[in-house]
């Protein structure tokens, strides 16, 4: 793989704790490998329903351990993560909002701000457009145009298409990182992502 062809297709959903960490920890890998990050919204709720998986139905002990494990990751990498009081949240508006911001060249900044609001500052209001407006306006986007575009049939179809395409590729959760034909799932697979990127 030539350096100019190195790319990570990064499937994400704001409702994924592990995506928060992966977005932070993949940055130095992109610098070291010269790879591009292609951010692709994935409607994780739809993916879960397609696989008859219900996150909150998992055993209480597993859920408790998962929270402890997330805090270990936050401590290890000195990240200001905190579990939001409201979890899970509806994520489709955020996903569609990111597609709108991509049209205006503001996708990475929007996604970083949204993840920081929810996973660092306990701001669940971002599941609604009203909660996203301060972020949108801080990035120079008109809020009325943003909401109108996010509710358009074209953007709705883009989200459906990106989610279905992910499923067709074998994606079953977030974060999923695709390099070439290889799929890597989870925040703890990043070393394998880097190894794959470095193959020639």
The per-residue DSSP string of 38-81 comes to: EEEE--HHHHHHHTT--GGGS-HHHHHHHHHHHHHHHHHHT---
Closest CA to 93 of 161, 15, 20: 15
Rounded Cα distance, 138 and 148, in Å: 18
| Contact in structure between 124 and 118 (CB atoms under 8 Å) | yes
pLDDT cut 90: percent of the chain above it: 85
Domain count, the chain: 1
pLDDT at 74 over 80: yes
pLDDT cut 70: percent of the chain above it: 92
- pLDDT at residue 109 in the model: 98
Those residues with Cβ within 8 angstroms of residue 90's Cβ, 6 or more apart along the chain or in another chain: 45, 127
Tell me, what CATH number does 179's domain have?
3.40.30.10
- Prediction pTM value: 0.92
Domain span at 102: 3-197
Those residues with Cβ within 8 angstroms of residue 65's Cβ, 6 or more apart along the chain or in another chain: none
What is the average pLDDT across 65-86? 95
pLDDT single digits (tens) 88-137 = 999 999 999 999 999 999 999 999 999 999 999 999 999 999 999 999 99
pLDDT single digits (tens) 138-181 = 999 999 999 999 999 999 999 999 999 999 999 999 999 999 99
């Amino acid at each position: 793989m030539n350096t100019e062809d190195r790319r990570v297709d990064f499937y994400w959903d704001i409702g994924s704790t592990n995506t928060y960490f992966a977005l932070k920890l993949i940055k130095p890998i992109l610098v070291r490998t010269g790879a591009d990050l292609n951010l692709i919204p994935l409607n994780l709720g739809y993916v879960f329903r397609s696989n008859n998986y219900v996150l909150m139905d998992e055993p209480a002990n597993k859920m408790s351990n998962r929270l402890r494990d997330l805090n270990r990751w936050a401590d290890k990498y000195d990240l200001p993560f905190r579990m939001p009081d409201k979890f899970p949240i509806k994520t489709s508006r955020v996903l569609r909002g990111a597609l709108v911001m991509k049209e205006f060249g503001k996708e990475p900044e929007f996604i970083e701000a949204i993840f920081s609001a929810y996973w660092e500052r306990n701001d669940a209001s971002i599941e609604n457009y009203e909660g996203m407006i301060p972020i949108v306006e801080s990035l120079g986007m008109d809020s009325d145009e943003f909401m109108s575009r996010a509710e358009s049939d074209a953007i709705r179809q883009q989200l459906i298409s990106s989610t279905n395409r992910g499923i067709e590729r074998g994606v079953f959760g977030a974060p999923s990182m695709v390099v070439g034909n290889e799929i890597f799932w989870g925040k703890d697979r990043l070393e394998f992502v880097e190894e794959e990127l470095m193959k020639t």
